[in-house]
Amino acid sequence: MTQETFVELLQQLKEGKIDKLTVEQPDFLEFRKAWLSFCDRTSFVGKAGLQGTISYRYEPSEKKA
C-alpha cells in the first residue's frame, strides 16, 4: 500500500467509518509516514499481533481545561 492510501484509511478510522486498520509488516514503513502526518497520532492505538501484524483503533484523547 502507498502512503496516500494509509492517510485515507487513517482518516476513515478517525472519522469512525471503519473500526480498525490492520497493517502488515511489509507495509509498516509506508504506514508510519502517513501516521506521522497526523497531529493527533497518539490517538491511534496499536495492538501487536502475530508475524508483525498490528491492528490500530482510534481513541481520541480528552483535553483537560
Reported as a single tens digit per residue, the pLDDT across 15-52 is 999 999 999 999 999 999 999 999 999 999 999 999 99
Is residue 65 very low, low, confident or very high in pLDDT (cuts 50, 70, 90)?
very low
- C-alpha 47: how far from chain center: 11
Q: 46: which strand partners?
A: 56
Helices 28-36 and 3-15: crossing angle in degrees, nearest 10, is 60
Residue 38, SS3?
coil
